[in-house]
Amino acid sequence: MKGFVPQLCKSAQAPATSKRYRDFGIGVLVIVLNQTIVLPIQMTLDKRDTDIPASILVMVFVFLSMAIGNRIHGGVARFYKAHLQGPTDFLGRHMSLGFVTPFVMLNRDHISKAVDVPRIAGAFVYLATGMEMLFDAMYFTLVWTCSLQLLRSLKASSGLLRFPRLRLALTIFANPVLLTSGFGTVYFWIKTFFANITIDQVVSNFRRHRTFAEAVIHIAEDHDPRAHIGAGDLSCLILDAGILCLGMKMFEYRHELASSFYSIVSTCAIIATTCIFANVVIARRIGLESDEALAFAAKSVTIALGVPAMQKVGGSMTLMSALCIFSGMLFQMSGDYLFKILRINDRNVRKQPRGGSGSDTEKGSRGRSGEDDKSGEEAKIVAAGVTVGINAAAMGTAHLIERDSKAIAYSALSMTIFGGTTVALTAVPGVSYLLVYLASR
């Protein structure tokens, strides 16, 4: 024990540890400051019945502001790299925690009665019902942290190297979003059993409003925070901050984006226009009801953009949310494996200088070959980023941040253009009428 305390103090003073604490502190500050911008914008949009998520607008605004500011004064890039890159990566890695809430909210729409659960497992829940929101937040944070640690341990385990297939299966199904959502669902059922309430009440108390701005408006009216804020509402803060960080990551890779900007925008716009009609027709052909078929019009956008699209055409919000969540989770679970078998070298790796004294001819030949290889590799990274952004949206982009991938910016831009095009098309009366017609044929 005597040796443990000095060792603990020594590890806490290590540069890597102090950097993590600094990134965490700045990350929390970014979450708070981000809400000072997002809240008034979202309130204004809600009052004008404009169904556009403020977090997406803030993300675009931050990217453009930093890019323009850096053109005027190059110190913006240096400041970002020195002070904001670490917190941005920290928030991006934990952004997926915000997707747990919409996943567990599906319980409210698909389950109506409780089942038997072990009494002993819910004893501590019953004792904590007096501080429900705080306890819920602590529980989900604890499960999320443990899930991340479990995944890291499985990936770093030397014992599993002898069993590559088992290691692959374990790392796939140890997805933190999946585990946290699963344990969260069990936790909800335990609460229904001991608190003698329905699952609908439990889930509704977990997240009381669609946006955090709605919660703030209601609190301002009746001055009762406990009646309007649940642990699920707090997850909106993490998700909003994570989306803000996508704007910063686009700034970080601004030079790469500039070379592929027009091709990415045109590709995403064309695919979005095609998918919005084709998906509805296919869904209707396989026998889905009209509102369910309409949900496929926004099946690949992030939920924040899918909600206004569904409101315009009258599609199933529940099915749309499920499709968005499972598309993103599917990539989070299988993305590393797919990148490996497709040989996409997207990770940021510091190159070590190499010595050598070959002839000029040899150097020129190697240089041309290296340029061709680099060009081909860059094309694969762009294609991968666009594919992830279109199909896995924000959840997929969050996983790319965890991978420290060079495809982050392409994915974030593709997600924004694809989702924005979908929302814009459904807002056009002629398009929405056509979609409803196709879904009812």
How high is the pLDDT of residue 366? 47
pTM of structure: 0.81
pLDDT 10s digits, 312-344: 899 988 888 888 888 998 999 899 889 989 999
**Residue 264 sits in the same domain as residue 413:** yes
**Residue 298 sits in the same domain as residue 399:** yes
pLDDT 10s digits, 209-227: 888 888 999 898 888 888 8
CA distance 294 to 101: 23
pLDDT 10s digits, 284-295: 999 899 999 999
**Residue 295 sits in the same domain as residue 233:** no
pLDDT 10s digits, 101-127: 888 887 665 544 333 333 333 334 444
Domain-ending residue, one of 252, 281, 308: 252
**Residue 89 sits in the same domain as residue 136:** no
367 inside domain: no
How high is the pLDDT of residue 368? 52
pLDDT 10s digits, 249-265: 999 999 989 989 999 99
Q: State yes or no: pLDDT of 382 exceeds 50.
A: yes
CA distances from 8 to 3, 11, 25 (A): 9, 5, 20
How high is the pLDDT of residue 15? 64
Kindly state the average pLDDT of the residues 263-271.
95
4 inside domain: no
Half-sphere exposure of 357 (CA within 13 A, CB side): 0
354 inside domain: no
357 inside domain: no
Q: State yes or no: pLDDT of 198 exceeds 70.
A: yes
278 inside domain: yes
69's CB contacts (< 8 A; 6+ apart) are 76
How high is the pLDDT of residue 386? 96
Quick one: 298 exposed, middle or buried, by C-beta within 10 A (0-12, 13-18, 19+)? buried
284 inside domain: yes
Kindly state the average pLDDT of the residues 44-53.
84
Q: State yes or no: pLDDT of 350 exceeds 80.
A: no
Of the pLDDT bands very low, low, confident and very high (cuts 50, 70, 90), residue 7 is: low
User: In angstroms, how far is CA 158 from the centroid of its own chain?
Assistant: 30
- Structural domain harbouring 394: 253-347+373-441
156's CB contacts (< 8 A; 6+ apart) are none
**Residue 194 sits in the same domain as residue 270:** no
Count the domains in the chain: 3
SS3 198: coil
**Residue 188 sits in the same domain as residue 241:** no
Q: What is the DSSP string of 312-351?
A: HHT--HHHHHHHHHHHHHHHHHHHHHHHHHTT---B--PP
CA distance 320 to 297: 9
Residues 249, 254, 256, 259: what is their CA dihedral angle, to the nearest 10 degrees? 140
Q: Which two three-digit tokens encode residue 117?
A: 């659960």
How high is the pLDDT of residue 4? 44
Q: Which two three-digit tokens encode residue 36?
A: 């000072």
Mean pLDDT of the chain: 84
pLDDT 10s digits, 131-147: 678 889 999 999 999 99
**Residue 216 sits in the same domain as residue 291:** no
Q: State yes or no: pLDDT of 394 exceeds 80.
A: yes
Q: Which two three-digit tokens encode residue 178?
A: 């999946």
Q: Who wins on pLDDT, 10 or 277?
A: 277
